[in-house]
Structure 1
């Protein structure tokens, strides 16, 4: 059984206190918030100051975090394992199906594409990494919504006006919820011309590190219909490979 290290917990608690208080704090202030002796708190703050995580004002001798923690967090985020898995997933999908592939996560009121790879066909759909697509008009979005409890999915749909992107876009919430239920039963989700006319998307979803994720194949409707069963097998195989154990 792993052992908890109190000093590590206390160091992180220092930053939680600063985040809550949003002001410079003296050693005695911090000791009070952490419920520790002034001498113990002094050693902790001195260590964090020496490592560059805290600055100290010259006049009041109060402490406040520097930007170092933020910079480290930024560098970690740039190499987020979720993004790495997403890249691997779309590479596998595009290689096996030769259709444009995307990998998305929930981003408040929409889906954020965190990884994408285009098909090699001359006629293909192109995603941009960082692009945000609507829940109601994308297979990625419907696959993600289906992972949420009904009340949360309903709230996500109600947070913004459901825009009629194409003549085929479904904006009736009851119809969308019915689609989600149908998708849960069969294990995959679909949009036909709902986000872009003449384009069909197939998607599956799952959890990665507890976070809802979805992946899709997208292409011209005629080609997607012709290869539907093969593409669904590819999606399900890649899902099993990339999300095993989650």
Structure 2
């Protein structure tokens, strides 16, 4: 069975301390904050400094992280397999429905869109990758909230800005929780002109790599109603092939 490597844990703890303190720190500062001997902390900081992860000021001799860790994280994120899987999912659903399709993940109190495939039809709904959709006003948001324990979902809504986006937006938490529970029981979620006038959204959700994720399509209300069963079948099939059901 794999074992924890203390040195690796301490190295990561150094960056967590810097993130929390948001200031330059001396060796003694870090030793105190990590509850480690100064000699051990000195070796740890020296190693990270030598590797280019920390810089040391000339006058105060205090340490602070360089941009190297952020650059490495950026390079990792650019090749995140989630992005590839998400793009494949929206392309598959779009090929079957020719509607605009979106893949989103839970990001604090919003839905972060990580993949988009736009419809080729004249009347279509379009948002961009990186867009943050309101949890309470989107089918995706309701789907993602359904994956959380009810108390956590309610708390997340309470911390969100539940402003009315359209005349149809629901801002009452009890009503939203009832909608989420209904969607959980039937296996899909909807937003009827709640995020944009004249636009209906349909979504399914599940777990992907330990993260709440969902696939949604959206389009003009009448077209969505007419093709509801066909669109839902496409969403469910792609979701089931990609991730565990919520």
Q: Same fold (TM over 0.5)?
A: yes
Alpha carbons 2:143, 2:188 under 8 Å: kept? yes
Q: How does 1:229-240 map to 2 (within 5 A)?
A: 229-240=229-240
Q: 1:131 to 1:19 in 2, by over 3 A?
A: closer
- Provide the C-alpha distance between the structure 1 equivalents of 2:87 and 2:155, rounded to a whole number of angstroms: 30
Say if 1:177 and 1:15 are closer, same or farther in 2 by CA, change over 3 A.
closer
Q: 181-190 or 204-213: which moved more? A: 204-213
**Structure 2 length-normalised TM:** 0.86
Greater CA deviation, 73-82 or 52-61? 73-82
Residues 1:96 and 2:111 aligned together: no
Distance 1:209 1:219, change over 3 A: same
- Number of residue pairs matched? 245
Q: CA deviation at 1:160?
A: 4.7
Counterpart of 2:131?
131
Q: Does 1:82 align with 2:82?
A: yes
Q: More deviation in 116-125 or 21-30?
A: 21-30
Q: Which moved more, 1:106-115 or 1:124-133?
A: 106-115
Equivalent-residue separation in structure 1 for 2:109 and 2:19 (angstroms): 26
Rounded to whole Å, the distance in 2 between the matches of 1:72 and 1:225 is 46
Q: 1:219 aligns to what SS in structure 2?
A: strand
**What runs of 5+ residues in structure 1 fail to find an aligned partner?**
none
Q: Does 1:24 align with 2:24?
A: yes
Structure 2: runs of 5+ lacking an equivalent: none
Distance 2:142 2:17 in 1: 39
TM-aligned CA deviation for residue 187 of structure 1: 0.3
Tell me how far apart the structure 2 counterparts of residues 17 and 47 of structure 1 sit (CA, whole Å): 17
Structure-2 change in CA distance of 1:171 and 1:9 (3 Å)? closer
1:196 partner SS: coil
Taking a change above 3 Å as real, the CA distance of residues 54 and 170 of structure 1, as seen in their structure-2 partners, is: closer
- 2:226 equivalent in structure 1: 226
User: Cα–Cα, structure 1 residues 214 and 27, in superposed 2: closer, same or farther, change >3 Å?
Assistant: same
Q: Please provide the CA RMSD for this pair.
A: 2.5
Distance 2:205 2:245 in 1: 14
For residues 11-67 of structure 1, what are the alpha-carbon distances to aligned partners after superposition, in whole Å with 9 as ceiling and x for unaligned? Answer: 2233233334444344455455352461x4444333222211111222343332222
The two structures have a TM-score, normalised by structure 1, of 0.86
Looking at structure 1, the residues matched to 21 and 171 of structure 2 have their Cα atoms a distance apart, in angstroms, of 43
Bigger shift: residues 220-229 or 72-81: 72-81
